[in-house]
Amino acid sequence: MWTVLRLAMAAVTVAAITAQLSKSIRTATELDRDVTTTVANFFSFFTILSNAVAAIVLVWAAVWYFARGRRAVVEPPALAVALACASSYMIITGIVYNALLRRIELPQGSAPIPWSNEVLHLIGPLFLLADVFFGPLRRSLPWRSLWAVVAFPIAWVIYTMIRGPLVTNPVSGDPFWYPYPFLNPNAPGGWPSVVLYVIGIALAIVAVGAFVVWWGRRSGAANADAGTDAAARVAAAPTPSNARE
């Protein structure tokens, strides 16, 4: 059942991303904005990237489960790491959006589709949080897996800060573009504010990632113990030749 829910969540997420992208392109065309820059900016949002990663990983997990997972004790290491990353990114997306961005007024033509916005910023993050607790066949990951979790957000921040001053904002015409106001060094507060936000969010990502890995180690150990017990029962069961003897 949970695997079917993973597939359903992946489908809804892809639909939400596609709907929002279509609206952004349509609005850019109607208001004579640069469509190429609009699309590039769309895929520069951490929200969009984290949801895309989550959809891919959820489909991967479902395909693996139906193909091989029914006979497995725990999920493969690569899939376990990918699930930990996807869950961490989506949980952070939900926390940051609902704590910092939900009430910010957007420029004309930039408002998201309501249902898509809720899927990407609330429903998806809640599902990936639930997946941490209820996802089947969790594997116990080593603590060094946390480096894999934090690698993408670090790369994204570097990309964002390098790209920001090189892009003209297609909405306002400003000679810079940043996906979120707290990353804009041209806003009130300047670079000190940006640095503080980056540090705060980085600490939150490490904390969420550590929790996801810790819980996976906790549930993964239980899965491994169950698998060991099952193997022991199979080994101890009498074979037909033993029964005759």
Domain boundaries, the chain: 2-228
pLDDT above 70 (res 228):
no
For helices 46-67 and 2-30, the axis angle rounded to 10 degrees is: 150
Confidence (pLDDT) at 240:
52
pLDDT reading at 46 higher than 90? yes
Query: Tens digit of pLDDT for each residue in 118-145?
Result: 999 999 999 999 999 999 898 999 999 9
Q: Is the pLDDT of residue 29 over 90?
A: yes
Determine the average pLDDT of the residues in 67-77.
Answer: 87
Q: What is the pLDDT of residue 224?
A: 55
Q: Is the pLDDT of residue 78 over 70?
A: yes
Give the global pTM. Answer: 0.87
Residue 110 has pLDDT above 90, yes or no: no
Q: Residue written as tokens 């806003």? A: 187
Least confident of 121-125, 209-213, 228-232: 228-232
Give me 190's structure tokens.
């300047």
Render the chain in DSSP notation, one character per residue.
Answer: -HHHHHHHHHHHHHHHHHHHHHHHHHHHHHTT--HHHHHHHHTTSHHHHHHHHHHHHHHHHHHHHHHTGGG-SS--HHHHHHHHHHHHHHHHHHHHIIIIITTPPPPTT-PPPHHHHHIIIIIHHHHHHHHHHH-TT-----TTHHHHHHHHHHHHHHHHHHHGGGS--TTT--S---SSGGG-TTSTTHHHHHHHHHHHHHHHHHHHHHHHHHHHHHHHHHHHHHHHHHHHHHHHSPPHHHHH-
Each residue of 150-182: pLDDT tens digit? 999 999 999 999 999 999 999 889 999 999 999
* pLDDT at residue 26 tops 70: yes
* Those residues with Cβ within 8 angstroms of residue 62's Cβ, 6 or more apart along the chain or in another chain: 3, 4, 6, 7, 10
pLDDT tier for residue 85 given thresholds of 50, 70 and 90: very high
- Examine the pLDDT at 9 and tell me if it is beyond 60: yes
Q: What's the Cα-to-Cα distance from 224 to each of 78, 104, 132, 169, rounded to whole Å?
A: 17, 46, 17, 52
Query: Percent of the chain scored above 90 by pLDDT?
Result: 76
